[in-house]
Amino acid sequence: MTTILGIILIWRKILPLAPLAARILPQATVVETASQARAAVKKQAKAGVDFIKPYDFLTRETYFATIKDAQEYRIYTAGHIPDDPEVVAVQEALTFGQNEIVHMDEFSHEFWINYDPKSLKKIDWDIDLSRIDEVVESVAKHKTAITATLVTNEVVLLGIEDLETILQKPEYQIIRPSLIERWRTEG
């Protein structure tokens, strides 16, 4: 888990993520400013969407604009928290009112001891288990839903080891062949 998150953090520091996000998630609306975020939420509200999914490549400004405007339009928010706690800390996301956080790894950096998001090297941080109760209480207090999706982490790690075996499983036969091919060639 540290390795994957570390890579994302390094990308954030070296590459502008908006063009990368647009390539990885062509169906997503990629925003770079708060005004773009507000316009995107307004457009989604007019389209009658059920929810908006913030992704972890958002800046602090675009994350908070997205959540705030979604609340104003009464649109449910279910998604990520930016990976760098200096951008948005877990506690801030809970307090600000994101309705649902998907993937338990969104909480990882909250518990790493001596975590330094500026570090460009892979580090296996120790975990501070004493803070778990505090965060769980905050999740309950703010009535934030959590979708664990721990199987996602397992599949990602297994895919790094043996992607072809995973892609041969029956459950992958319903996925568009072009997407499968992109996973094979681009990761």
Over residues 38-85, the pLDDT tens digits come to 999 999 999 899 999 888 778 899 999 999 999 999 999 998 887 666
Question: Does residue 163 share a domain with residue 101?
Answer: no
What is the reported pLDDT for 31?
84
Question: Does residue 41 share a domain with residue 108?
Answer: yes
Strands annotated E in 11-166: 51-52, 76-79, 100-102, 145-147
Question: Does residue 164 share a domain with residue 77?
Answer: no
146: which strand partners? 101
H or E element at residue 99: none
Question: Does residue 58 share a domain with residue 121?
Answer: yes
Question: Does residue 169 share a domain with residue 134?
Answer: no
Question: Does residue 98 share a domain with residue 49?
Answer: yes
Question: Does residue 175 share a domain with residue 122?
Answer: no
CATH number for the domain harbouring residue 126: 3.40.50
Question: Does residue 48 share a domain with residue 28?
Answer: yes
Question: Does residue 72 share a domain with residue 23?
Answer: yes
What is the reported pLDDT for 4?
37
Name every residue whose Cβ is closer than 8 Å to that of residue 50 and which is 6 or more positions away in sequence: 75, 76
Which amino acid, 53?
K
Question: Does residue 108 share a domain with residue 39?
Answer: yes
Residue-wise pLDDT tens digits, 17-39: 566 666 666 677 778 889 999 99
147-174: string of b/e by CB count within 10 Å (b at 16+)? eeeeeebeeeeeeeeeeeeeeeeeeeee
Q: Copy the structure tokens of residue 33.
A: 């400013």
What is the reported pLDDT for 35?
94
Question: Does residue 72 share a domain with residue 32?
Answer: yes
Question: Does residue 155 share a domain with residue 135?
Answer: no
| Distance of alpha carbon 133 from the chain centroid | 22
Supply the mean pLDDT for the chain.
Answer: 78
Q: Provide the domain limits for residue 177.
A: 150-187
Q: How many domains does the chain have?
A: 2
Strands annotated E in 28-157: 51-52, 76-79, 100-102, 145-147
